[in-house]
C-alpha cells in the first residue's frame, strides 16, 4: 500500500523522500524545457527549483502543474504523471497549505 | 439563575465552565454532535451532516458493528466529501466504479446508475481528473467504498488546496471546539454590550487568542498587554497600560471598568494596578 501513496511536498521537503523512492507530488510553475525536451525546470510552490526528468509521453502543457514523480535527488524528480493547473495560481497559498499538512498536529493523523 | 451545567460534558467545548451561573450559548452548529441523547433525532442530524475528509481518514474510519455509524477519531460521520484524483473508471451495468486517489490513500467510489442515465456516469469525469465526490461510507463484504451521491470535476485546482485546508480546520474544530466558542453569537457589538448577563459565557481560559477576540479593540488591547507582562503579584499600573494601548484616558478607564465587570481583570494592591483573571 505504501507504493500507492504520493505525499505532496515542496522543494525543501523533497530531500526527505529520496531514500524511500516513493512517488511525491509537487506543485509549481514550469520555467523552461531543455532543448531536447527531456528535462524541464520547475519553480516549486516554495520558490525552490526542481528539475524534472521527462519521458516521451509526458503531457505537461500548462504553466502551473502538479507533477507526480519519483525523487532522484533532493532537487530532481523523474516524471510519472502530472495534472495541468492552468495559467494562474497562487503558489504562496499552495505552499502555505502544503506546509500546514506537515504540522505535527496533522502528520500521521490526516496525512 | 443557575442552570445545571450539562454543557460541561460537551466534548466540543473543551474545558467547560468553571464559573457558576452562565452556560455556553448556542448549540453546536454541527448537527452530528454525539453529546446529545435521543436516538432518532440524533441519527437524522447525523445523516444530514457533511464532513470533509481525506481518503486516508476514510480508509482508517471504524465502525462498531455492521450497521453502526462510521467513526473517524471518535467523531461520528454522516455524509462525507472528498477531493481526489480519479485513477480509473469502470462502467458496469448497474453501477460505475471510480477509484479515487488523493495522494494519501486510495478508495473506491460507486455510483449506482438509475435506469434513465444509461450507465454513462457523470459529465466531465475522466481518468486522471480531480473531482469532488460526495456520498456515504459503506462496506461490501470486507471492502469499503463511498456510495457516491454526486461527483463533479474540479474546475479550479485551488479547490484541492481548499479541501485540504477545510479538512484540517474541521478536524481542529472537532478537537478543540469552534474558534470563537464564547463569542459565537456575538457579532462585533459596540463596546457597551459586553453585558454581564447570566447568558454570556465566562471566558476564564488563559489563551488570549480565542477567548478574548470578541472584545472591542481597547479592551482586547488591555488584556493582551496584561498577558504579555511577566508574572507579577502586584499587577500592572494603569499608566503603563494606557501608554501601551495608546487610547485616551477616558477610553481606558471605561474599558477597565467593563473588563472588571466581566471578571476578566481585577485590581491588586490598589485601584491603579490590574491583573488578568485566570
CATH of the domain at A66: 2.40.50.140
Structural domain includes residue A94: yes
- Name the CA radius of gyration of chain A, rounded: 13
User: Which residues of chain B neighbour A64 with C-beta distances below 8 Å?
Assistant: 157
What does the domain layout of chain B look like in residue ranges? 49-174, 178-276
Q: With bands split at pLDDT 50, 70 and 90, how would you rate the model's confidence at B121?
A: low
Segments forming the whole domain that contains residue A13: 8-104
User: Which residues of chain B neighbour A9 with C-beta distances below 8 Å?
Assistant: none
Mean per-residue pLDDT over chain B, rounded: 76
Whether residue B130 lies within 8 A of chain A, CB to CB, comes out as yes
Of the given ranges (B15-29, B114-128, B167-181, B256-270), which has the lowest mean pLDDT? Answer: B15-29
Structural domain includes residue A82: yes
pTM of the model: 0.65
What CATH number labels B49-174? 2.40.50.140
Is the pLDDT confidence value at B119 over 90? no
pLDDT tens digits for range B209-252: 455 667 777 888 888 888 888 777 788 888 888 888 877 778 88
In the three-class reduction of DSSP (H, G, I as helix; E, B as strand; rest coil), residue A58 is classed as: coil
Of all residues in chain B, the percent with pLDDT exceeding 70 is 70
Q: With bands split at pLDDT 50, 70 and 90, how would you rate the model's confidence at B115?
A: low
CB–CB contact B104 A81 (8 Å): no
The reply to whether CATH 1.10.10 applies to domain B178-276 is yes
Is the pLDDT confidence value at B162 over 90? yes
When divided into structural domains, chain A yields a total of: 1
Structural domain includes residue A74: yes
User: Which residues of chain B neighbour A104 with C-beta distances below 8 Å?
Assistant: none
Is the pLDDT confidence value at A103 over 90? yes
Whether residue B164 lies within 8 A of chain A, CB to CB, comes out as yes
Structural domain includes residue A2: no
**A91 CA: distance to closest CA in chain B (Å):** 10
Structural domain includes residue A110: no
Nearest to A97 among B104, B106, B165 (CB): B165
Give the model's pLDDT for residue B184.
46
CB–CB contact B103 A7 (8 Å): yes
Is the pLDDT confidence value at B80 over 60? yes
ipTM: 0.94
Of all residues in chain B, the percent with pLDDT exceeding 90 is 32
Residue with cell 484541492: B160
Is the pLDDT confidence value at B207 over 70? no
Is the pLDDT confidence value at B194 over 70? no
pLDDT tens digits for range B9-68: 444 544 444 444 444 444 444 444 444 445 556 667 888 899 999 999 999 999 888 888
Amino acid at each position: 500500500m505504501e507504493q500507492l501513496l504520493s505525499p505532496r511536498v515542496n522543494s525543501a521537503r523533497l530531500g526527505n523522500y529520496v531514500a524511500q523512492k516513493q512517488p511525491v507530488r509537487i506543485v509549481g510553475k514550469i520555467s523552461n524545457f531543455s532543448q531536447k525536451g527531456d528535462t524541464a525546470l520547475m519553480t516549486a510552490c516554495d520558490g525552490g527549483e526542481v528539475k524534472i526528468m521527462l519521458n516521451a509521453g509526458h503531457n505537461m502543457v500548462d504553466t502551473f502543474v502538479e507533477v507526480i514523480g519519483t525523487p532522484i535527488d533532493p532537487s530532481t524528480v523523474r516524471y510519472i504523471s502530472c495534472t495541468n493547473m492552468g495559467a494562474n495560481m497562487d503558489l504562496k497559498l499552495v505552499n502555505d497549505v502544503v506546509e500546514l499538512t506537515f504540522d505535527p498536529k496533522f502528520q500521521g493523523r490526516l496525512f | 439563575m443557575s442552570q445545571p451545567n450539562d454543557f460541561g460534558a460537551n466534548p466540543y467545548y473543551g474545558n467547560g465552565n468553571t464559573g457558576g451561573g452562565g452556560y455556553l450559548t448556542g448549540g453546536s452548529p454541527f448537527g452530528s454532535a454525539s453529546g446529545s441523547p435521543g436516538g432518532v433525532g440524533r441519527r437524522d442530524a447525523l445523516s444530514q451532516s457533511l464532513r470533509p475528509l481525506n481518503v486516508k481518514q476514510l480508509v482508517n474510519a471504524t465502525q462498531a458493528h455492521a450497521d453502526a455509524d462510521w467513526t473517524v477519531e471518535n467523531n461520528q460521520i454522516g455524509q462525507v466529501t472528498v477531493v481526489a484524483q480519479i485513477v480509473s473508471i469502470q462502467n458496469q451495468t448497474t453501477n460505475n466504479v471510480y477509484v479515487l486517489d488523493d495522494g494519501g490513500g486510495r478508495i473506491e467510489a460507486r455510483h449506482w446508475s438509475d435506469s434513465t442515465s444509461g450507465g454513462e456516469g457523470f459529465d466531465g469525469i475522466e481518468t486522471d481528473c480531480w473531482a469532488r465526490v460526495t456520498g456515504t461510507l459503506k462496506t461490501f463484504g470486507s471492502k469499503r467504498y463511498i456510495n457516491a451521491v454526486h461527483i463533479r470535476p474540479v474546475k479550479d485546482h485551488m479547490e484541492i488546496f481548499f479541501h485540504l485546508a477545510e479538512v484540517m480546520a474541521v478536524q481542529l474544530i472537532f478537537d478543540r471546539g469552534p474558534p470563537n466558542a464564547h463569542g459565537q453569537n456575538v457579532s462585533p457589538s459596540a463596546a457597551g454590550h459586553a453585558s454581564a448577563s447570566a447568558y454570556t459565557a465566562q471566558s476564564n481560559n488563559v489563551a488570549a487568542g480565542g477567548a478574548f477576540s470578541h472584545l472591542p479593540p481597547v479592551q482586547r488591547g488591555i488584556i493582551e498587554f496584561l498577558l504579555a507582562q511577566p508574572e507579577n503579584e502586584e499587577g500592572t499600573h494603569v499608566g503603563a497600560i494606557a501608554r501601551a494601548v495608546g487610547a485616551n484616558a477616558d477610553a481606558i478607564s471605561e474599558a477597565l471598568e467593563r473588563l472588571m465587570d466581566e471578571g476578566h481583570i481585577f485590581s491588586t494592591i490598589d485601584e491603579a494596578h490590574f491583573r488578568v483573571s485566570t
